[in-house]
Amino acid sequence: MTRVFDDDLAQGFATRAIHAGQRPEPLAGAIMTPVYLTSTYVQDELGVNKGYEYARGKNPTRQALERNVAALEGGKHGFAFSSGMGCVDSLMKLFRAGDHIVCGENVYGGTYRLFDKILQHMGLSFTFVDTRDPQRIADACTPATRAILVETPTNPLMRITDLRAAAEIAHRHDALLIVDNTFASPFFQRPFEFGADIVYHSTTKYLNGHSDMIGGMAVLNDDALADRIQFIQNAAGAVQGPFDCWLALRGTKTLHLRMPRHDENGRAVAKFLVEQVGEEQVIYAGLESHPQHELAKKQMKGFGGMIALELGTKERANHLLSRVRVFALAESLGGVESLISHPASMTHASVEPDRRSALGITEGMVRLSCGVEDVADLLSDLEQALEGMPEHGAARARRETAGAA
Ligand SMILES: Cc1ncc(COP(=O)(O)O)c(C=O)c1O
């Protein structure tokens, strides 16, 4: 009897999430892929082995995760790395001194730091642009441009890049479109459908979903490019350990159950915050007031749980951050639990203050990662934490006046 372990038989997202890339373990038929805790593999004789020689090159647990996430993204090849940053760093090894990369100006602070503080000193050059405007991407391309790297939605400003337009520009310049799909996850956005060449993730976030490991994943379709990344993965060695792969593989099995709840809670929290502090203060791609809501609707199937909230000053931000009881003050995002953070001093502290404020990452901004708890508890937590904040009172007064009129 054929079971759905054959990836091509599993067409639906949920079935792929649960089965793709996995086979029953051959010794006892264990349904769950074991954690292959081994650094090396016994060879049958010189030059004859079971396809595995040394675990930096291949590990069956890692391969299961790589095939699983590749299937979820609709790609052919997956490569798991030690972290999201390890993944980006390895991808940059596709390029050589003298090559130029056009990068979104509001990428994760650590991505900017890697490019600005390390890789540009090794001969790669980067131009950071507002990728909301395709013309700016096109204008930044030079004959040396080899890649356009975008994050959409961005961290933390929730800016959207038109993926189809970015892919056209990249291909016109013989360059690759590389997309950080961490915020949307493949459940809500599949950049290959719009022409992306490489899609990558911090699997630390939604893919794993339980805030208990660090990992990165690159997915692509082109066989020749995949050979080069496999070479880099083995040669540079930023591979993901088998136990972290196993955790992530366990996480992806429920991605299709978690993401709708993150989305539902995100929408409810965004609506609630609009009522509390006003529409202009809440940045969420699912709000009609988001300037790129129509584009977001076109390329995303949902908006997830990430919200940025502009409270005006650090004191006001701290008022909220120090009073929440269900939301936890912590970096990271995408876990089942709700988190709240202060991008200027946390995730984007590595971006220079002038650059940060030019981008709009202010001292008064907080970022929420809405988890999958009961939404009523999230709303009452925020309500009690906002209590006593001057703007909160003013917003309520405005509402009461409007209600009375
Ligand atoms: C959008 C995005 N990309 C990449 C990364 C880096 O991933 P990691 O922390 O797994 O190295 C992060 C981390 O926060 C992120 O938010």
Give the Cα separation of 177 and 91 in Å (integer): 12
Angle between helices 390-404 and 255-277 (to 10 degrees): 80
Q: Which of 233, 226, 168, 199 is nearest to 69 (CA)?
A: 199
E strand or H helix at 251: helix 242-252
Query: Which residue ranges of the chain lie beneath pLDDT 50?
Result: 1-2, 4-5, 392-394, 405
Sign of the CA dihedral with 108 first, then 113, 118, and 124 last = positive
68 lines ligand 1 (CB under 6 A): no
Predicted pLDDT at 350: 87
CB atoms within 10 A of CB 329: 15
E strand or H helix at 378: helix 375-386
Span from the CA of 205 to the centroid of ligand 1 (angstroms):
8
Asked if 91 contacts 200 with a C-beta cutoff of 8 angstroms, the reply is yes
Q: Is 108 a catalytic residue?
A: yes
Predicted pLDDT at 373: 98
Residue whose structure tokens are 């709840």 = 261
Q: Is 180 a catalytic residue?
A: yes
All structural domains of the chain with their residue ranges? 65-252, 256-404
Q: What are phi and psi of 7, to 5 degrees?
A: -60, -35
Which residue's C-alpha comes closest to atom 14 of ligand 1?
Answer: 332
pLDDT in tens, 188-246: 999 999 999 999 999 999 999 999 999 999 999 999 999 999 999 999 999 999 999 99
Q: Which of 7, 23, 41, 56 is catalytic?
A: 56
Which residue's C-alpha comes closest to atom 6 of ligand 1?
Answer: 84
Determine the residue of 103, 108, 207 to mutate for testing ligand 1's pocket, defined as the one with the most ligand atoms within 8 A of the Cβ atom: 108
Give the Cα separation of 275 and 273 in Å (integer): 5
Domain 65-252: CATH class, spelled out: alpha beta
110 lines ligand 1 (CB under 6 A): yes
Predicted pLDDT at 405: 46
Predicted pLDDT at 202: 98
pLDDT in tens, 296-338: 999 999 999 999 999 999 999 999 999 999 999 999 999 999 9
Residue whose structure tokens are 């979903």 = 209
- Atom of ligand 1 lying closest to residue 182 CA: 1
Domain 256-404: CATH class, spelled out: alpha beta
